Amino acid sequence: MITRRDVSSITADAEYALLDARGLTPADLIAAGTEAHVYALGHDQVLKVYADPDQHQALETIADLYRRFDRTTVPFALPEIQAIEQHGTLLAVTETRLPGSPLGDALTLTSPATEHAYLAAVRDLTGLRLTTPLDRRMLLDPDPAHQGEDWTAFLRRLLGQKLPKVLADLRRDVPAVDSITVRLAARLSRSYTGPEGVIHGDLYPGNILVADGKVSAVIDFGTFTLLGDPLFDLAGACAYYRMYDEDRAAVRNRLLATAAENLPAGRRDDLADYLHLVALLSCDLYPEQGKHIRDTGHYQWAADVLNSPTDWKNR
């Protein structure tokens, strides 16, 4: 996965120069994420301003993925990148302007109807396919040694790299972590032979857009995007919805139970295993300055996922 400088690294002088060159002003700002400032570029396009020109190749790879999307396999819009240009110390990316607002801005996240719409969109996205295949599991993995890797071998490798870094801490907070990892190792020793698709990897309400009360687009593929079993995305998305709210366990279990309703028993087990993999692989990804990893919000979320029973599989 890539590391990016965030928007705090964008200097005002450099940004004003870029905006002036594009005929824009600060008043055209429509969104500010952690990685880019987004400006309206007419009615049909947006300009994303990144602080790190070293992202150029990664964004070219993402643009190539977008060109490979079989857009007929999902009922909503997906991103398109038209141009990637360096401007001084900044990177300017022109994209199609997609309709809608983030789900949490457009709808009430605590509403059962919103939960239903969210889960339906996630399920729809598991049908996304490519018109031409890619030769790797992780979109932004440049290592040629990983080309052609089996899906479960890929996950086994990631887990093997992660556990030495986090296992000592997790053993203090997750009593069953060793039995979980033993079960996952057994699961990942078997090859996956089912359908493969695009795994967004970061499906939470902010990356799903809504217009006129309906899901209109899914955005921000890239850093966590994988190619493999689409059920992996479904497990992560169920866990990411309202993930830091006090009732997150109840919300998560409700979504997982609904997601598992039409799955055969073996695939319900896969959904539970993928949920634990998502927690294990991401538990240390969001450090907070001045805090031990065990005191960070995302680690505590991951520990909560790993400590929660999976009785939702049998509802």
Model pLDDT for residues 135-180, shown as the tens digit of each residue: 999 999 989 889 999 999 999 999 999 999 999 999 999 999 999 9
76 pLDDT above the threshold of 50: yes
pLDDT of 2 reads 40
**Confidence label for 9 from pLDDT (cuts 50, 70 and 90):** confident
Q: Which residue has the higher pLDDT, 242 or 31?
A: 242
Domains 7-96 and 101-314 agree in fold: no
Domain covering 101-314, topology: Aminoglycoside 3'-phosphotransferase; Chain: A, domain 2 (3.90.1200)
- Read off the pLDDT of each residue in 47-51 and give the average, rounded to a whole number: 93
- Read off the pLDDT of each residue in 97-122 and give the average, rounded to a whole number: 96
Q: What 3 state SS string does the chain have? A: CCCCCCHHHCCHHHHHHHHHHCCCCHHHEEEECCCEEEEEECCCEEEEEECCHHHHHHHHHHHHHHHHEEHHHCCCECCCEEEEEEECCEEEEEEECCCCEEHHHHCCCCCHHHHHHHHHHHHHHCCCEECCCCCCCECCCCCHHHCCCCHHHHHHHHHHHHHHHHHHHHHHHCCCHHHHHHHHHHHCCCCCCCCCEEECCCCCHHHEEEECCEEEEECCCCCCCEEECCHHHHHHHHHHCCCCCCCHHHHHHHHHHHHHCCCCHHHHHHHHHHHHHHHHHHCCCCCCCCCCHHHCHHHHHHHHHHHCCCHHHHC
Domain covering 7-96, topology: Phosphorylase Kinase; domain 1 (3.30.200)
pLDDT of 111 reads 97
pTM: 0.93
- Read off the pLDDT of each residue in 208-234 and give the average, rounded to a whole number: 96
Model pLDDT for residues 268-308, shown as the tens digit of each residue: 999 999 999 999 999 999 999 899 999 999 999 999 999 99
Residue spans of the domains in the chain: they are 7-96, 101-314
Mean confidence (pLDDT) of the chain: 94
pLDDT of 52 reads 82
